[in-house]
Amino acid sequence: MRYTITQDYIRTGNSRSGQQISNVRFIVSHDTGNPGSSAYANRNYFDRQQPSASAHTFIDDQYILEIIPLDEKAWHVQYNKPTDNRLFGADSNDAAIGVELCYGGRINFNEAYRRYVWYHAYLCDRFNLDPQRHIVAHSRLDPERRTDPQNALQPRGISWNGFIEDVQNVYNQDFNGNSGGSPNDEPAVRGISTRLPLREGDSGQFVREIQQELISAGFPLPRFGADGQFGSETDGAVMRFQKRYGLTVDGLVGTNTINKLREVNMQQHATTSVAFPLPEGIYRSGAEGEEVRMIQRALRHLNFDPTYIDGIYGNLTENAVRRFQSTFSALANDGVYGPNTRKYMQMELNDN
């Protein structure tokens, strides 16, 4: 199988009732609507906060992460919406798998999209579904309130029909409809658990996400960055964060520190794009001045940190621009800030 599926289930509560799905009839495609939030960030949010909402699977450029077993219900479409009953004869929560695409920020969209497409094909094979008839967008079921997953797909040049075509192609290539969900054809599944508090000496994807949140909150890690290793630099940044926000200063990343990090970053993301004006014109390596600082500030806000806000368009800023451009198929990945890159940066700032 091409990709590994990770099962790391959240605890039972408002987000996971444990109620069984009797028969999976279709798939509902979502995006998170929260640019930059990774699969594990979403998993940990639903596990800790337990809202009366959920989805089975979150997919980013690192993980296909199942947080609710596929034979249990998840709460991913409102029950009072009639379209799913008309199309499939059942409510989405009772008879569908909800799949969420993570995008934006530091997430490599192309890698996440490939996993998203493949997983839809895998589900079609496992549950004997037709990619053309049994996959529906959340936006079709709840058009008054939702625009997903087109919200994430369309700015990258991918139509809904193009997405379904991609799923069909992968289904034909990798599955051919022959396995019928046989256990022998299951992809390798590996369980990962995240135990709090995190501390110096820990490592892994969750550590990397905490480091990224620290950087976004204004606590830089200039020596090693978000490398997934909880070393002395990260320990110091955690303690500085805890001191500033009145938490126990112990360097341990537990529930209180994580919740405060989320709160601080949500408040920062709520800042309108007016706070991050973008210059007109074309800027490339060698440019200097306040306009370059404007670009650097916006990149940092969008989690493509150029490291320094120094007004110098050097290699670090060029690389940050390239990373941003790589998340949109419509942009040339050339590291040059121009009208098209400005347009998409403005769009992302408005979303943030």
Structure tokens at 83: 């379209």
Q: What is the per-residue pLDDT for 112?
A: 94
194: confidence class by pLDDT, cuts 50, 70, 90:
low
SS3 call for 250: coil
pTM of the model: 0.63
Q: How far is CA 235 from the centre of its chain?
A: 26
The four Cα atoms 178, 184, 188, 194 give a dihedral, to 10 degrees, of 110
Burial code (b: 16+ CB inside 10 Å, e: under 16) for 139-174 equals: bbbbeeebebbbbbbebbebebeebbebbbebbeee
Distance in angstroms (rounded) separating the CA atoms of residues 162 and 152: 13
Distance in angstroms (rounded) separating the CA atoms of residues 13 and 287: 54
Domains in the chain, ordered, with CATH? 5-191 (3.40.80.10), 205-269 (1.10.101.10), 273-351 (1.10.101.10)
Residue 20 has pLDDT above 90, yes or no: yes
**pLDDT tens digit sequence for 26-65:** 999 999 988 889 999 999 899 988 998 999 999 999 999 9
Q: What is the per-residue pLDDT for 269?
A: 57
Structure tokens at 206: 């969750």
Q: What is the per-residue pLDDT for 321?
A: 95
**pLDDT tens digit sequence for 249-270:** 999 998 789 878 877 876 765 5
Angle between helix 39-49 and helix 255-269 axes, rounded to 10 deg: 120
